[in-house]
C-alpha cells in the first residue's frame, strides 16, 4: 500500500468516524431532550432556554477540543478576518440556533420516531 493510498484510507476513516460520532451525539441529544421536556418533573416548558444551553454545551466541547489539539499536537485554529466572520460564521450560527430551537419545539408535538425519521431524511439531502 502506497503512502497516498494509506492517506486516503486514513482520511476516509476519519470522515466515517466523525459522521458516526455526530449522528450518535445528535440522536442522544434528541432522546434526552424528549425525555427532559416531557418526563422530567412533569416536563420542561422552555425549549428556547434549552436551545441556549445546547449551544453553550457545543461551545464548551469545541473549545475543549481546540485546546486539546493545541497542547497535544500544536495545531492552532486559524483566526478569521472580520468579513468572513460576518458573511459566514454569524449566518451559520444563527441558522443553526434556529434549527435546534425549532427541533426542540417540534419534539413537544410529534412522536420521537417521526422526528428522527424526518431529521434523517431531510438532512441527508
Structure confidence at residue 124 as a pLDDT band (50, 70, 90): low
Residue 51 · residue 93 · CB < 8 Å: no
User: Has residue 40 been placed in a domain?
Assistant: yes
pLDDT above 90 covers a percentage of the chain that reads 1
Residue 48 · residue 107 · CB < 8 Å: no
C-alpha cell at 98: 434556529
Measured distance CA(7)–CA(13) in Å, rounded = 10
User: Has residue 125 been placed in a domain?
Assistant: no
Predicted pLDDT at 123: 63
Measured distance CA(4)–CA(67) in Å, rounded = 29
User: Has residue 16 been placed in a domain?
Assistant: no
Predicted pLDDT at 20: 84
Full-model pTM: 0.50
User: Has residue 49 been placed in a domain?
Assistant: yes
Which residue segment(s) compose the domain that 75 sits in?
27-119
User: Has residue 100 been placed in a domain?
Assistant: yes
Amino acid at each position: 500500500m502506497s503512502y497516498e493510498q494509506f492517506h486516503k484510507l486514513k482520511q476516509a476513516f476519519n470522515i466515517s468516524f466523525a459522521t458516526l460520532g455526530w449522528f450518535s451525539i445528535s440522536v442522544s441529544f434528541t432522546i434526552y431532550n424528549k425525555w427532559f421536556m416531557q418526563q422530567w418533573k412533569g416536563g420542561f416548558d422552555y425549549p428556547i432556554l434549552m436551545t441556549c444551553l445546547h449551544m453553550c454545551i457545543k461551545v464548551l466541547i469545541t473549545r475543549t477540543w481546540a485546546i486539546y489539539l493545541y497542547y497535544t499536537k500544536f495545531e492552532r485554529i486559524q483566526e478569521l478576518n472580520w468579513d468572513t466572520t460576518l458573511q459566514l460564521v454569524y449566518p451559520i450560527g444563527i441558522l443553526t440556533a434556529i434549527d435546534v430551537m425549532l427541533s426542540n419545539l417540534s419534539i413537544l408535538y410529534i412522536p420521537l420516531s417521526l422526528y428522527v425519521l424526518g431529521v434523517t431524511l431531510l438532512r441527508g439531502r
